[in-house]
Structure 1
C-alpha cells in the first residue's frame, strides 16, 4: 500500500440513535473501548463522508458511518500537542495552553518545532507550514500544511475553505443576551493592545463574532463563539466589548477573575475542505472540563 494511503472503509447505516463510540464497538464485534478510541484517534471513522474523532458524537437513524482500522504508524507523544488527523498534505492538531503556534526563533519551543521534530523522527521529508494561529494561552484545534501546495491553497483561500470555526469561552458575569453578534473595526495601538472602534479609525480591520450562551451560574457564563472573520485577539476584544471578558485574560479581562487558572478560551471546532482532495473534513474536541467545573462550583 502506498505511503499515506488509507485502507478502504467498511460502510454501515445507523439503525437507532446512539453515540459514535458505542456504534463502533458494536459494529466491530464488541471490540474494547480503548481499541474503538484508537480507531477514532487515527481518523479511521467518517460520518456522512466527514471524518469524525469525537467519541460522544450523536448518531441518528439513516446516518452513514465508515470504519477503517487505520492508525498512524508513528505516534506523537507530547503533552502540549496531540495529532488528531494526518495525511500526506496536512496535519490537524489539538494544542494545549502554554505553547506558541510558531515562535519567532525557528529553534524555540512551539507547535511547529514539535511537529518538525516528529516529522524528522518518522522520516517524513517535510516541515510544518503555519496556516493560522492560536495565542499561547488558548487551547484547541489547528491545521498545519506539510507541502507548499497545501500551504498556498489554505492561505490564499482560507475564508472559502473553512466552513465552520468555533470556540468555547468561560466569561465573567451573566450574559444579557442568549445569542447575537458583535461587529467592529479592530486596530492595535502603539502598545500593541487591540482596540475596538465603531468606525474605521484608518487601517483598521473589520471583525464579526457570533455568540451563543450555553450555560451560566450568574457569576460566569459558558459561551460558544463562531468567527465570521479571524482577526488578532478578536474574540477577547469582542467579549470585552460585551462587558463579559474571557476569564483569566490578563490583557483584556477583569483583574482577579481567574477561576480555571488559565485563559478560558478553547478552539473546539474546525471544519474545512481538504486543500488538495477537496474532501470535507470535520474536527471537534470536547470542552475543557475545568470550564464546566467552574460553573458547577
Structure 2
C-alpha cells in the first residue's frame, strides 16, 4: 500500500504539509474544507508537491522534516531545486526541523501592519508562534527587541527572528498492554486506563496511548494529525478512563472527524460528584474557554462572550448518597474538561478533581484510604456510524476498579 507526503500552498502564501494513504481523496477534502484541524481561512489551496513512499513511517518522516523548513527551502523543494535545498540546509536560513540547531530568520517587512501579522506573512510561522517568540525576546525589529505583537511596523523595516533548536518529538512504538473493545482494518476502539496520556507532548514523551497503538497496530494509523498524534480523532484527559476510537486509515479518520464535528457521536460518561444536584437531571448549556486567571484551566464564559466554544452536557442522577451522587452525563459537544467544568459550575465538582473543586470534608478519609487521586470520571459508552460500513456501532466499558471501590465505600 503506497503512502504520500505532500505540501499545499494556502491562501496568504502559507504552506501546509501532511501525509496520507489516499492523496486524491485527501486533497479533495482539503479543498472542500472537510478535514479535521484544517480551517476555511486556509482556502483556496493548491497541491504543489508530493512524493510516494513505501511505508507510512517514511511518509511520516518526510512530513516531519519538511514541516520545519523555512519558506525558501520549501520553495526550492517545489521547484525541484535540490542544490538549493542542500545549500539552504547548510545556511543559517534553512536548517531542517530535525537538525537540532537554532534557526535565524532575517528579512524586511513587506507591508505596514501589526507586528505579529507582518512577521507571520514574512516567515510562514503562525501568528500564535510569533507572539510566543516575541514574549521570549526572540524577535528584533530595526535592531531593537520587540515587546508587543500589536506594535505597528512600517514596510521596509528589517527584522530578525531567532527560532530555538527544535526538540524532536516522534512517537516510538512501545509494547504497552491495551484493553481493546473492538478492532478491524479501519479503526480500533480502546478502553484507556486512568493515568495514561493520549499522545506525546512536552513532559510525556513516552508511555502514551499513541506509543502503545503504534506497537499494537504496527504503525498502521491515520496520518491526518501528523507524527505526534497518528490516528487520534478525539481525546480524553489523562486521569479520565474509558473509551476512545482511533483511526487506522485516513478515510476512517475523516469519516469519524465529520461525526465529531456535527455532534452525531454518542458519548456517555459516568461521574461521581459532590453533593446532590438539584434538579436531579437537567442540561448544562454553558460556553467554555480558557480561564483568564489560569491558562491551564477551562472556565464557564458569559453567554455573549466572543471567545470560547458552545458546550452542552445533559446529566441524570442515577444514585445518590447524600454527600455524593452518581451522574450519567451525555455530551452534545466535546470540549476540553467539559464534564468537569460543567459539574463544578452548578456547585457539584467531581470527586478527586483538585483543579475544579474541593472534596467534601466527610469523604476525604475515604479518598485517602483508597488512594483515589484522579477525577471520578469514566467514558462508559461510545457510539457512531462506522465510516467504512455505514453501520451503527455502540461500545460499552465497565467502571474501572478504582471508581467501583470508591462508590462501594461511599455507599456503606
Residues 189 and 198 of structure 1: is their aligned pair in 2 closer, same or farther, counting only changes over 3 Å?
closer
Aligned to 1:180: 282
Aligned residues: 218
Q: Distance in 1 between matches of 2:205 and 2:215?
A: 11
* Aligned mate of 1:111, from 209, 220, 242: 209
Normalising to structure 2: TM-score of the pair?
Answer: 0.50
Normalising to structure 1: TM-score of the pair?
Answer: 0.68
Q: Which of these two proteins has the greater Rg computed from alpha carbons?
A: 2
Q: Distance in 2 between matches of 1:114 and 1:162?
A: 28
The answer to whether 1:152 aligns with 2:285 is: no
The answer to whether 1:285 aligns with 2:285 is: no
* Aligned mate of 1:197, from 301, 319, 322: 301
Q: Distance in 2 between matches of 1:104 and 1:245?
A: 27
Aligned to 1:39: none
Residues 118 and 242 of structure 1: is their aligned pair in 2 closer, same or farther, counting only changes over 3 Å?
same
Residues 152 and 249 of structure 1: is their aligned pair in 2 closer, same or farther, counting only changes over 3 Å?
same
**Structure 1 portions without partners, runs of 5+:** 1-75
Q: Is the 8 A contact 2:353 2:375 kept in 1?
A: yes
Q: Distance in 1 between matches of 2:326 and 2:408?
A: 11
Residues 112 and 165 of structure 1: is their aligned pair in 2 closer, same or farther, counting only changes over 3 Å?
same
**Structure 2 portions without partners, runs of 5+:** 1-173, 223-229
Aligned to 1:296: 411
Once the 2 structures are TM-superposed, how far is the Cα of residue 206 of structure 1 from its aligned partner?
Answer: 0.8
Residue 108 of structure 1 aligns to a residue whose secondary structure is: coil
Q: Hey, which of these two has a bigger chunk of helix by percent?
A: 2
Residues 125 and 201 of structure 1: is their aligned pair in 2 closer, same or farther, counting only changes over 3 Å?
closer
Q: Is the 8 A contact 1:194 1:237 kept in 2?
A: yes
Q: Distance in 2 between matches of 1:281 and 1:204?
A: 31
Q: Distance in 2 between matches of 1:210 and 1:85?
A: 27
The answer to whether 1:140 aligns with 2:242 is: yes
Q: Distance in 2 between matches of 1:239 and 1:152?
A: 31
Q: Hey, which of these two has a bigger chunk of strand by percent?
A: 1
Aligned to 1:62: none
The answer to whether 1:250 aligns with 2:354 is: yes
Residues 108 and 77 of structure 1: is their aligned pair in 2 closer, same or farther, counting only changes over 3 Å?
closer
Aligned to 1:10: none
Once the 2 structures are TM-superposed, how far is the Cα of residue 163 of structure 1 from its aligned partner?
Answer: 4.0
Q: Distance in 1 between matches of 2:357 and 2:210?
A: 28
Q: Distance in 1 between matches of 2:263 and 2:247?
A: 14
Residues 130 and 176 of structure 1: is their aligned pair in 2 closer, same or farther, counting only changes over 3 Å?
same
Q: Is the 8 A contact 2:199 2:210 kept in 1?
A: yes
Residues 98 and 83 of structure 1: is their aligned pair in 2 closer, same or farther, counting only changes over 3 Å?
same
The answer to whether 1:267 aligns with 2:382 is: no
RMSD: 2.2
Aligned to 2:327: 223
Once the 2 structures are TM-superposed, how far is the Cα of residue 142 of structure 1 from its aligned partner?
Answer: 0.2
Once the 2 structures are TM-superposed, how far is the Cα of residue 274 of structure 1 from its aligned partner?
Answer: 0.5
Residues 214 and 247 of structure 1: is their aligned pair in 2 closer, same or farther, counting only changes over 3 Å?
same
Q: Is the 8 A contact 2:259 2:384 kept in 1?
A: no
Aligned to 1:99: 196
Once the 2 structures are TM-superposed, how far is the Cα of residue 231 of structure 1 from its aligned partner?
Answer: 0.7
